[in-house]
Chain A
Amino acid sequence: MAEVALYYEAYGYIYYCAAKDTVMSPSVRLQEMIRVIRSARTQGEERGIIQRECADIRAQFRQGDNGERSHSLAKLLYVHMLGYPAHFGQMECVRLIASPRYSEKRIGYLGAMMLLDEKQDASLLITNSIKNDLSHSSQYVQSLALCTLACMGSAEMCRDLAPEIERLLRASNSYIKKKATLCAVHIIRKVPELAELFTPSARTLLSEKNHGVLHGAVVLITELCVRNPDTLDRFRKAVPELVQIMKGLVTSSYSPEHNVAGISDPFLQVRILRLLRILGHNNDTASDAMNDLLAQVATNTDSSKTAGSAVLYETVLTIMDINSESGLRVLAVNILGRFLLNNDRNIRYISMTSLQKIVQTDHNAVQRHRGTIVDCLKDQDTSVKRRALELSLALVSAVNVRSMMKELLIFLSVCPPELRSQTASGIFNAAERYSPSKRWHIDTILHVLTKAGGDVRDETVPNLIQLITTASELHCYTVHKLYRALVKDIAQQSLVQVACWCIGEYGDLLLKGECEEIEPVQVTEDDVLDALETVLQSHMSSPATRGFALTATMKLSTRITDNVDRIRSIVSIYGSCIDLELQQRAVEYNALFKKYDHMRAAVLERMPVMDKNSPGHTNGETPGEIKEPDTSKPKPVEAGLLSEPASQVCDLLDLLGGTDTPLQPSPAPTSTPTTTSSADLLDLLGGLELTPVPTVSVYEKNGLSLKIQCDKQTETEVVINLIASNSTQTDITNFTLQAAVPKSVQLQMKAPSGTVIPAHGLGQVTQTVLLNNPNKVSLKMRIRVSYSNQGAMHQDTVQIDSFPSTACQPSISPL
């Protein structure tokens, strides 16, 4: 683009103006005031000058017609632009608009556009003046009126003046017609019902030769079609005409009036393409009629300058949005691919936003450009990086996951901080869907935690732990790797939490000192306990992390042989810790040592494999994951089903007084597949899974959230799972649920999985309710929730009003 030279002069503007020898009549007094204001050295000085000037202006306004009013209003408008109040000028605008002098009208209308908006009462007062000026003999006066109406016309004014505008649309010169057309667009935006008034004239305007009118006509037709599908249908007949006009523009010889960098009227071309897009969308006939034209534009437009690229860009958008033939689509994607290699950063950015829109529908075509997209991750511009990241994540597939992940992990180390958490979540999602092996998956997650542990979401820790438990053959490998990481650095909380959990769980494997997959560490029991104690004592560790470390230490008491006393002493020390959470745990563990030592081994034994799916869910598959079948493990504990281990745990909890935390900070599995919406959109294996049971949130208050899942077993029996979680900083204790149902419905509540909900969403309590509805009445349920949190008792009630029989989706009204 030709650079326009703008430069700064230090001299007073009056002399400068004379030197330039322009035709303008120097507006001395306005410019004098501007010069004086600009010479103010401080804000205070400026305010003083402005106050004086405003007093002057007010006096001028009061004096009435003396030929000076327009000059005063202009000064006021300047003051207004500096940010000072100017309401006292509103009435003056109204007066000036009504003046017969053109100069006064001109500044009056400008003032109206700047100071009045549809909310002021004064704006209504100019309606009459506008109406008169619309029929003025001078087209420049008409133009002022049209412009002002299109800028700030309220709905009322629009209704009033619409017939006038329609008349001007039909019978006037092209100067006025083009303005009336855009005025009509404004009217329709303000008062959609008036669209019908303009529809007939809009069609005829397409035969105008004047580009300004034509452009306005296309905008008007676009607005009409967007608002009314019937109108859209009617205007489809105009497609051949539009195609003709476009062809004329594309193939025309050089026309100096409309040429921009070799493109004939790119503004008009882009608008026509946009209208064609709307007309051809979901319509085969219309799309067919424009196929040739689009191919022609796509191939013949010179995109070396922005004007051409703008037209090409719009063409690509149109091709992708209508029912175009596949050859044309490939052409479009290739154009975007070419854009990706363009030197101009803007064009690279545009191309990536467009590719993002089509990556779902034309996945293979976009994949061909994967290399270039990944290269854009290294661009200096953050906006470009962001686009490249989103696109790269969308392009990860089972085939390219290893190489893509390598690139993404490199990107994670160098990316700007505002993109870190998005990158981390993206990597996790991709890893979950496409990991070639469990070991690779675990390695990837650990890598991310090491690099960006502070930016990952809270569920990462429980998710990773769940993943580790399912990879039983990798326990040895995992614990060795994590131990090494822990010893190296304990700053990344999520990594430390997972490491502590693993060491607690699989410490015996660590101490054995042998491992097939990785070089084993040779550690003593003291070394391991040292590591955990460092975490416990470090001020870098968050309270949650210390909780992990303490529990891990406790668990080791059944996995090591020599140093149980050391563990005992650690546990008893923390019995007087100031942190309430740690203190509670330590006290309980102490109790486990003292009074319930005979149960310690059973309580602290290895966790069973956690099923990632929600309780009551019959589908055992996780979407997208290559899961090794593992049928030897016992059923998951968190399910509110009465399996043997569950009842044992429940009994144990009862024996221990019923107020205990669960003995592990059991990372509860995420209960629905819908936690990250992008994972679902990209779910390529979606067709293979059974439809998951939806979880609906019925209650969310003070950090406690209650979700409900209902599953119809038979015609009259419904199984309802209630899942409670806690996002506050402290545990929720004494949590109980009571339920009431209509008289004819039978209710059976199973034992809850616990009465304590750990903080920070680290665990959940689930409870199953069986309903038998033999009379098939409309199901309603009232649930009373009561719990303690931070020393205060809470009670609340939730009413669930209906469970529609087929979908079993409850509708909720919290009381």
Chain B
Amino acid sequence: MMHFLLLFSRQGKLRLQKWFLPLPERERKKIVKDMTTMVLSRKPRTCNFLHWKDLKIVYKRYASLYFCCGLDNQDNELLALEILHRYVELLDKYFGNVCELDIIFNFEKAYFILDEFLMGGEIQETSKQSIAKSVEASDMLQETMEEYMSKPAF
């Protein structure tokens, strides 16, 4: 299973953190710090896999954002790369040509999309269209409520 998924910028600023295991706040901060240091110091054209403690770390850079996840030892790293790519595709479909600013200003939406794709560290849906439809439907549900209340959601 995936232990965590982190998105951070080239300057090391955290844009999204999803934890699939319960860890104390201090531990999480340390992991974030370790990951950002390790991944940001990697040279270009090196492979996307690292070892950290007893976890496999898979990371991929998309323009200004690093997507970094920690996996169990039996997990398939190449598949993890596909998982990261799938998430980026979902974001791209939702926001239309997604960029880092989208994720900064709409972080809650990025989480909602992620929660339709992964759950408990495992994939819950393998079809892109299916996920897109669910997120759209949830948004509609939210908006109808908004219209009804005639106020913006947040």
Q: Say if A and B assemble together.
A: yes
A-side residues, CB < 8 A to B, are 1, 4-9, 13, 16-17, 20, 22-31, 34-35, 38, 67, 70-75, 77-78, 81-83, 101-103, 106-107, 110, 117-119, 138, 140, 143, 146-147, 150-152, 154, 175, 178-179, 182-183, 185-186, 189, 211-212, 215-216, 219, 257-258, 260, 265-268, 270, 274, 306-307, 309-310, 313-314, 345-350, 380-384
Which residues from chain A contact B85 at a C-beta distance below 8 Å?
A: 1, 306
Q: How far is the CA of A189 from the CA of B143 in the complex (A)?
A: 36
Q: Contacts A25-B146, A346-B48 given: A258-B124 contact, CB under 8 Å? A: no
Which residues from chain B contact A383 at a C-beta distance below 8 Å?
A: 46-47, 49-50
**Given B20, B89, B112, B130, which contacts A151 in the complex, CB threshold below 8 Å?**
B20
Q: How far is the CA of A13 from the CA of B105 in the complex (A)?
A: 8
Which residues from chain A contact B146 at a C-beta distance below 8 Å?
A: 25, 103
Q: How far is the CA of A610 from the CA of B17 in the complex (A)?
A: 61
Which residues from chain B contact A260 at a C-beta distance below 8 Å?
A: 82, 86
Over the window 88-116 of chain B, the binary record of Cβ atoms lying under 8 Å from chain A Cβ atoms (1 yes, 0 no) is 11001001111111001111110110010
**Given B48, B50, B92, B130, which contacts A4 in the complex, CB threshold below 8 Å?**
B92
Contact between B124 and A346 (Cβ–Cβ < 8 Å)? no
Residue on B nearest A313 in the bound complex, by CB? B78
Contact between B92 and A83 (Cβ–Cβ < 8 Å)? no
Q: Contacts A140-B141, A310-B79 given: A25-B153 contact, CB under 8 Å? A: yes
**Given A82, A118, A306, A314, which contacts B81 in the complex, CB threshold below 8 Å?**
A306
Q: Contacts A8-B101, A151-B120, A185-B120 given: A107-B108 contact, CB under 8 Å? A: yes
Contact between B76 and A270 (Cβ–Cβ < 8 Å)? yes
Which residues from chain A contact B47 at a C-beta distance below 8 Å?
A: 345-346, 348-349, 381, 383-384
- From DSSP, what is the main secondary structure of chain A's interface residues? helix
Residue on B nearest A17 in the bound complex, by CB? B105
Contact between B154 and A30 (Cβ–Cβ < 8 Å)? yes
Which residues from chain B contact A82 at a C-beta distance below 8 Å?
A: 14
Contact between A314 and B79 (Cβ–Cβ < 8 Å)? yes
Interface centre among B81, B86, B122, B137 (most CB of A within 10 A): B122
B-side residues, CB < 8 A to A, are 14-17, 19-20, 22-24, 29, 45-50, 62-65, 74, 76-79, 81-83, 85-86, 88-89, 92, 95-101, 104-109, 111-112, 115, 119-120, 122-130, 134, 137-139, 141-143, 145-146, 149, 151-154
Q: How far is the CA of A13 from the CA of B103 in the complex (A)?
A: 11
Contact between A179 and B119 (Cβ–Cβ < 8 Å)? yes
Which residues from chain B contact A307 at a C-beta distance below 8 Å?
A: 82
Q: How far is the CA of A179 from the CA of B111 in the complex (A)?
A: 16
Contact between A310 and B82 (Cβ–Cβ < 8 Å)? yes
Contact between A314 and B76 (Cβ–Cβ < 8 Å)? yes
Contact between A101 and B145 (Cβ–Cβ < 8 Å)? yes
Residue on A nearest B95 in the bound complex, by CB? A22
Contact between A25 and B143 (Cβ–Cβ < 8 Å)? yes
Which residues from chain B contact A152 at a C-beta distance below 8 Å?
A: 22
Contact between A67 and B151 (Cβ–Cβ < 8 Å)? yes
Residue on A nearest B153 in the bound complex, by CB? A103
Instruction: Offer 14 A-B interface pairs, CB within 8 angstroms, sorted by A.
Output: A13-B101, A25-B152, A34-B104, A71-B154, A81-B15, A103-B153, A117-B24, A211-B125, A211-B126, A216-B124, A267-B83, A310-B79, A345-B46, A348-B47
Beyond known contacts A119-B24, A306-B78, A350-B77: 8 more, CB 8 A cutoff: A5-B63, A5-B99, A70-B153, A83-B29, A101-B149, A212-B125, A310-B78, A313-B78
Q: How far is the CA of A24 from the CA of B152 in the complex (A)?
A: 11
* Nearest CB in chain A: distance from B2 CB, A: 12
Contact between A6 and B100 (Cβ–Cβ < 8 Å)? yes
Q: Contacts A101-B145, A103-B146 given: A147-B129 contact, CB under 8 Å? A: no
**Given B46, B79, B106, which contacts A266 in the complex, CB threshold below 8 Å?**
B79
Which residues from chain A contact B149 at a C-beta distance below 8 Å?
A: 67, 101
* A-B CB proximity, top 3 nearest: A6-B63, A71-B154, A310-B78
Which residues from chain A contact B130 at a C-beta distance below 8 Å?
A: 212, 257
Contact between B119 and A183 (Cβ–Cβ < 8 Å)? yes
Which residues from chain A contact B142 at a C-beta distance below 8 Å?
A: 102-103, 106
Contact between B153 and A27 (Cβ–Cβ < 8 Å)? yes
Contact between B126 and A258 (Cβ–Cβ < 8 Å)? yes
Contact between B97 and A5 (Cβ–Cβ < 8 Å)? yes
**Given B64, B98, B106, B122, which contacts A219 in the complex, CB threshold below 8 Å?**
B122
Q: Contacts A81-B17, A266-B82 given: A310-B76 contact, CB under 8 Å? A: yes
Q: How far is the CA of A143 from the CA of B125 in the complex (A)?
A: 13
Q: Contacts A346-B77, A349-B49, A380-B45 given: A178-B125 contact, CB under 8 Å? A: yes
Residue on B nearest A82 in the bound complex, by CB? B14
Contact between A178 and B124 (Cβ–Cβ < 8 Å)? yes
Residue on B nearest A85 in the bound complex, by CB? B25
Residue on B nearest A178 in the bound complex, by CB? B124
Residue on A nearest B15 in the bound complex, by CB? A81
Contact between A4 and B120 (Cβ–Cβ < 8 Å)? no
Residue on B nearest A219 in the bound complex, by CB? B122
Contact between A4 and B81 (Cβ–Cβ < 8 Å)? no
Contact between B119 and A257 (Cβ–Cβ < 8 Å)? no
Contact between A151 and B107 (Cβ–Cβ < 8 Å)? no
* Nearest CB in chain A: distance from B30 CB, A: 12
Which residues from chain A contact B15 at a C-beta distance below 8 Å?
A: 81
Contact between A106 and B119 (Cβ–Cβ < 8 Å)? no
Residue on B nearest A387 in the bound complex, by CB? B47
* Nearest CB in chain B: distance from A144 CB, A: 8
Q: Contacts A182-B119, A350-B78 given: A212-B154 contact, CB under 8 Å? A: no
Q: How far is the CA of A274 from the CA of B81 in the complex (A)?
A: 17
Contact between B79 and A147 (Cβ–Cβ < 8 Å)? no
Q: How far is the CA of A78 from the CA of B82 in the complex (A)?
A: 28
* Nearest CB in chain B: distance from A450 CB, A: 30
Contact between A309 and B106 (Cβ–Cβ < 8 Å)? no
Contact between A71 and B153 (Cβ–Cβ < 8 Å)? yes
Q: How far is the CA of A89 from the CA of B85 in the complex (A)?
A: 33
* Nearest CB in chain A: distance from B121 CB, A: 8
Interface centre among B50, B83, B97 (most CB of A within 10 A): B97
Which residues from chain B contact A258 at a C-beta distance below 8 Å?
A: 126-127
Contact between A306 and B63 (Cβ–Cβ < 8 Å)? no
Q: Contacts A70-B154, A140-B138, A310-B78 given: A6-B98 contact, CB under 8 Å? A: yes
Which residues from chain A contact B63 at a C-beta distance below 8 Å?
A: 4-8
Q: How far is the CA of A274 from the CA of B24 in the complex (A)?
A: 31
* Nearest CB in chain B: distance from A714 CB, A: 48
Interface centre among B63, B78, B111, B142 (most CB of A within 10 A): B78
Contact between B64 and A347 (Cβ–Cβ < 8 Å)? no
* Nearest CB in chain B: distance from A33 CB, A: 10
Q: Contacts A9-B99, A151-B20, A267-B82 given: A215-B46 contact, CB under 8 Å? A: no
Which residues from chain B contact A268 at a C-beta distance below 8 Å?
A: 126
* Nearest CB in chain A: distance from B52 CB, A: 12
**Given B29, B108, B141, which contacts A74 in the complex, CB threshold below 8 Å?**
B108
Q: How far is the CA of A101 from the CA of B81 in the complex (A)?
A: 37
Residue on B nearest A384 in the bound complex, by CB? B47
Contact between B154 and A27 (Cβ–Cβ < 8 Å)? yes
Which residues from chain A contact B98 at a C-beta distance below 8 Å?
A: 4, 6
Which residues from chain B contact A73 at a C-beta distance below 8 Å?
A: 154
**Given B20, B99, B120, B122, which contacts A7 in the complex, CB threshold below 8 Å?**
B99
Contact between A27 and B152 (Cβ–Cβ < 8 Å)? yes
Contact between A77 and B124 (Cβ–Cβ < 8 Å)? no
Which residues from chain B contact A75 at a C-beta distance below 8 Å?
A: 154
Residue on B nearest A347 in the bound complex, by CB? B78
Contact between B100 and A8 (Cβ–Cβ < 8 Å)? yes
* Nearest CB in chain B: distance from A10 CB, A: 10
Q: Contacts A13-B105, A383-B50 given: A150-B119 contact, CB under 8 Å? A: yes
Q: Contacts A25-B146, A119-B22 given: A110-B125 contact, CB under 8 Å? A: no
Contact between A257 and B129 (Cβ–Cβ < 8 Å)? yes
Which residues from chain B contact A78 at a C-beta distance below 8 Å?
A: 107
Q: How far is the CA of A103 from the CA of B142 in the complex (A)?
A: 5
* Nearest CB in chain A: distance from B132 CB, A: 11
Q: How far is the CA of A380 from the CA of B23 in the complex (A)?
A: 36
Which residues from chain B contact A265 at a C-beta distance below 8 Å?
A: 126
**Given A13, A274, A313, which contacts B74 in the complex, CB threshold below 8 Å?**
A274
